[in-house]
A and B are shown apart, each in its own frame.
Chain A
């Protein structure tokens, strides 16, 4: 199974509040994991990727951070949300075929 669980599915947060989005994956161990963000009507922007526990690479400087505390867990966080953080956050894993397999996403609205 290559299932990806993302939680929560939707949330509405006020500006300045903290954020924690969780992604857990099933299947093979030590997967390469990714966080993408999609703003309304826009393309997919790579935020972070991880090749193993505690290993995080950031693609875009911003007020978001990521952590990988366990092999199959990838967390996206923020201490203070901005309006521009609104969007559809997608966790993905790299399959052996080279395909990026996406989770169902978490939709964040910052008010």
Chain B
């Protein structure tokens, strides 16, 4: 049931773009994206609901392909502050509303070099 994230790690130069993917074998109600700095708690980035929407947050945006049960996080013109581990969290179709909690992927480590 755990969503699969790819790639496991990415090393970029400042200003380069990155895409992080999250896929599920089960029908999804929503996908959440979080970023975690080393030793800190995860911080919420955005939620995408079923319906194939796309959202943006500064230079970070995401899409949700309901048919493929996949979500992608796009980081454009990456900044040093984007470094961290990105997690997708999924809600399955039978547990809409989030009350049952999210199932998280193993994370994607993003390193931005100057």
Contact = CB atoms under 8 A, between A and B. Distances in A.
Contacts of B104: 36, 43-46
Contacts of A51: 99
Q: How large is the interface on B (under 10, 10 to 19, 20 to 34, 35 or more residues)?
A: 20 to 34
Q: Interface residues of B: mostly helix, strand, loop or mixed?
A: loop
B87 to A, nearest CB: 6
Contacts of A98: 30, 32, 47, 97-98
A100 B43 CA distance: 9
Q: Interface residues of A: mostly helix, strand, loop or mixed?
A: strand
Given A32-B98, A46-B101, A98-B47, 5 more contacts: A42-B106, A42-B107, A43-B105, A44-B104, A98-B97
Interface of B: 2, 30, 32, 34, 40-44, 47, 87, 89, 97-107
